[in-house]
Amino acid sequence: MSGAGLVLAAGAITAVNEAFFAPAAGDKGVSFNWRVLPATAIAALGVAGIDHLSPKFGTSLGIMALITVMFAKLGSADSPITNLSKALGYQK
């Protein structure tokens, strides 16, 4: 998979986290941040350009973005892993 595809997946996970996982976890103060969508598009374009210069480096950037999005708290919502575990009842 290309680095741009991985960045798009990271952006989609961030959007789904804010729109669905955070409210399902009981966090009522989180609203969807529309700036995630253009920021994802700009980041994907940048990584696609890097992919043309060095495919391994572009893919590495995409993997780092995906791992960071899964485990780090970005914005006002908790991380997707935390929200998903709360929504499934594994964590309070």
CA atoms within 13 A on the CB side of 48: 9
- Would you say residue 32 lies in a domain? yes
CB 17 within 8 A of CB 80: yes
Contact, 80 vs 91, CB < 8 A? Answer: no
Asked whether residue 33 is assigned to any structural domain, the reply reads yes
pLDDT tens digits in sequence order for the chain, 92 residues long? 899 999 999 999 999 999 888 888 888 877 888 999 999 999 999 999 999 999 999 999 999 999 999 999 988 889 999 999 998 888 87
Q: What pLDDT shows up at residue 42?
A: 97
Token reading at 35: 């700036």
pLDDT attached to residue 65: 96
Q: Is residue 92 assigned to a domain? A: no
User: What distance in Å separates the CA atoms of residue 3 and residue 64, rounded to the nearest whole number?
Assistant: 10
- Counted domains in the chain: 1
Q: Which domain holds residue 52?
A: 3-87
pTM of the complete model: 0.89
